[in-house]
Chain A
């Protein structure tokens, strides 16, 4: 008997038809984008755009970045067109998403240059505001990561943040900013406990549990605002945390004002995101938490308490959301208004997905959303011909493009949203 073992095979490479189709579509999209940019923002536009690099309160001016609009835009359009053509020719490319992302980023710079033509825009101010606006989204996204990594879907982040904002304002008015912050964190953790109770112990559908939490918190905070706070103004006048300039680091050009001259919330967000990364991916407890979110029965057979792990992490998530919620009051205006979180919790969920359930991914995503949010504000100031309402849609349209185009079927923790029953 002559036995032959099969060796590796070398022959033509077959491409997945879905991938080819997708790459073709992206290629065409890039070409269209290039055409739109060139004709809309480049051809026939006169003048330069001045991007001011001097921080707002700086004594020594650093100067401005002067960009000639038409040449810059046309170069960008050419690069995007090149990427599009390349995708059409090499339709098996694995980098289509990356190219699309780069193209979108370049397109935004082109748009910004066009909008600034003949005017001046503080680039530092733009970046600084981006970081500030990213803060609540980062907290919300991190809260989502902590919950979903153990398999609990948290639609209630919005409510948790609103509770944090409210508690921050009231407790802050009574016992000062730090006390307010602690109280907001505790209340957030309490709501996390409620979510864990409903989903883990009572096995309620996670989305219903989140909807209930959002309604409950919206009801309670609105009721308390109109019933109590309106007539007791002293309960709604919390101190606001002042920016702290980090010595030396805040003097670094661009990065200094961007990251190191903010109030405590920005630093807390960065620290929490880094610690969460360490916790989830480098510690024993983090490994166990992820195991529970991936395959709870396997974790159970190894003696890991699924319920306790879920309780603890969901409460942690609630505390992060509560702390982040306090940003709305203690970190910015010092006063609570009804429904003041305005959907930031939901954007945070989108940031979590965009960031692929990773704290650092959340940071990147939050910065993107923060930038979109800031951009629309600055563009209104620059008086672009685009109506303000449409500019205000930008962050949401961006989210849709990102979730649909770049992320697609990103993989959530395998047991996300599934209740666990012991056998």
Chain B
């Protein structure tokens, strides 16, 4: 079994997302497709999977040319895909998700769920993918959800398997588990196309590597004879340093102190279970952890968006329980939300309007309830140049900006007033490399000016690169604390999975 892509080209208007891409994957090999965000990896996958149609080029399987009008054709040809955003339906059970689209039936179109359940059990036993066929998807850990996705394509007897950024959502321990699964799939003779932007993974798992940049193949490599430095240069097009240059922190007074904070998740389940946490002026405290271990609730309770059930939060010297989010802003709290399109920006509104989303009522912008748009626009223009936001004008809608520039708008807005504490949640998610460096630089600058920074990120590399102290969250608690100068990646990884040694146990200083 071999799948060959020959000069695949895909355009969106005048933008060329894929420019004459050629590559092949054989049975029993893992072919890694490496490239940063926006390099055209996902577009290429959609073409292979029949989700979008190529403007030029040819796909062939075992030498025979194939045409996919829809995923149905791709599935029939033996292609299976695990998407970056899981294509699973939360309201359905595991079995329903697996068989959807290829359901065993009895008379009268009746679903044969018993047969389906048996198949799911068989497949999971055969490949060592432990799952409960009757469990609902809702609330399932992402690692297990990914197994469901894999079972789903195995159920369809796929021989060519595509994984799109499969490790982005996993803990280091889950990644190890996942690589074992990949090994067993390779041993079973599957042809695997593995898409990622993480160099260390490529070096670990790949048999062959193809590097993509700006929609073009810029290089092919053999992991045995190449180094990750070379690959990084190929991927980005210029040498990059993952390390952010920064000096030793000069930590000052405590700006934020949480004592024994408890928060529920909207039902009676605890999302935060006794959080103690201190952030001082002039230091960056990084929160590492797998998504869904209470980080969202932690950020929201500090920002005043979620009621506190028990405990105390002190900010800038006073207890802020029961104080409105706006008043917290006034007292010097900045908040870069986790997901800019959900909570950071009103994308249909203009850049200028988004720049003043939290300050439009201040005397500098409005009087007697009337907004002075010329001063808003001037301030916005100044922020746009100060923060290097690439936009046609301040009147352009935020939706017309790239992800990186949208994020710069959010950061510019939050840093446009005197602040004491900045919560930066996933500050570089879905942002291009250039903007990542810029945003990191800004965060470090803020720290150097005496702002306390609470950085929350599921990217361990980011936490390691920026933080002065690292806290690991697991299951609504802070499990461990590390000094970033001495932190050991693998120990942090273990803590993210809930395993700690005595010496790291988090013992916070209690605020005066």
Contact = CB atoms under 8 A, between A and B. Distances in A.
Given A3-B494, A6-B474, A301-B87, A14 B270 contact: yes
A15 B264 CA distance: 7
A155 B256 CA distance: 50
A299 B102 CA distance: 11
A355 interface: no
Contacts of A92: 268
Contacts of B264: 14-17
B119 interface: no
A283 B91 contact: no
B83 interface: yes
B342 to A, nearest CB: 15
B293 to A, nearest CB: 12
B309 to A, nearest CB: 5
A3 B501 contact: yes
Nearest to A411: B91
B105 A294 contact: no
Given A1-B501, A14-B309, A18-B266, A287 B111 contact: yes
Contact of B502 (A2, A295, A297): A2
Given A291-B89, A299-B100, A19 B268 contact: yes
A380 B498 CA distance: 67
Interface stretch (B44-52, B55-63, B122-130, B181-189): B44-52
Contacts of A294: 89-92
B374 interface: no
A298 to B, nearest CB: 4
Nearest to B49: A301
B512 interface: no
A282 B96 contact: no
Interface stretch (B67-75, B193-201, B392-400): B67-75
A303 B46 CA distance: 13
A300 B494 CA distance: 38
| Residue with the highest number of chain A CB atoms closer than 10 Å, among B96, B100, B108, B110 | B100
B434 interface: no
Interface residues of A, number: 38
Given A18-B307, A287-B96, A298 B88 contact: yes
A13 interface: yes
A375 to B, nearest CB: 36
Interface in B231-276: 262, 264, 266-268, 270, 273
A87 to B, nearest CB: 15
Interface in B100-153: 100-103, 105, 108-111
A283 B109 contact: yes
B108 A283 contact: yes
Contacts of A414: 90-91
Contacts of A13: 268
A227 interface: no
Contacts of B307: 17-18
A4 B499 contact: yes
Contacts of A282: 110-111
B500 interface: yes
A254 to B, nearest CB: 34
Contact of B101 (A9, A290, A302): A302
A302 B71 contact: yes
B51 A301 contact: yes
B310 interface: yes
B475 interface: yes
A173 B339 CA distance: 61
A229 interface: no
B81 interface: yes
A262 to B, nearest CB: 28
Contact of A5 (B90, B262, B268, B499): B499
B75 A302 contact: yes
A423 interface: yes
Interface residues of B, number: 45
Contacts of A9: 273
A19 B264 CA distance: 11
Given A1-B501, A14-B262, A414-B91, A283 B268 contact: no
A65 interface: no
Interface string B342-381: 0000000000000000000000000000000000000000
A304 interface: yes
Contacts of B89: 290-291, 294-295, 298
Contacts of B266: 16, 18
Nearest to B74: A303
Interface string A284-295: 110110110011
A112 to B, nearest CB: 37
Nearest to B477: A6
A2 to B, nearest CB: 6
A14 B72 CA distance: 49
B109 A285 contact: yes
B467 to A, nearest CB: 23
Given A6-B475, A14-B268, A303 B103 contact: no
Which of A15, A19, A297, A303 has the most chain B CB within a 10 Å cutoff? A303
Contacts of A302: 71, 75, 87, 100-102
A306 to B, nearest CB: 10
Nearest to B72: A303
Contacts of A423: 46, 51-52
Contacts of A288: 100-101
A304 B101 contact: yes
Contacts of A305: 70
B71 A4 contact: no
Nearest to A304: B101
Contacts of B81: 301
Contact of A283 (B92, B100, B110): B110
Contacts of B96: 287
B109 A284 contact: yes
A3 B103 CA distance: 45
A9 B474 CA distance: 13
Interface in B490-512: 494, 498-502
A358 B179 CA distance: 42
A16 B75 CA distance: 46
Interface string B281-316: 000000000000000000000000001011000000
A14 B308 CA distance: 11
B500 A4 contact: yes
Contact of A304 (B88, B100, B268, B499): B100
A1 B501 CA distance: 6
B499 A303 contact: no
A16 B502 CA distance: 32
15 contacts: A14-B310, A16-B267, A16-B268, A16-B309, A92-B268, A282-B111, A283-B109, A284-B105, A287-B100, A294-B90, A294-B92, A301-B87, A302-B75, A303-B71, A304-B101
Interface of A: 1-6, 9, 13-19, 92, 282-285, 287-288, 290-291, 294-295, 297-305, 413-414, 422-423
User: What 6 pairs between A and B have smallest CB-CB spacing?
Assistant: A303-B72, A302-B101, A298-B87, A16-B264, A283-B109, A284-B103
Given A283-B108, A303-B75, 4 more contacts: A1-B501, A284-B109, A288-B100, A301-B71
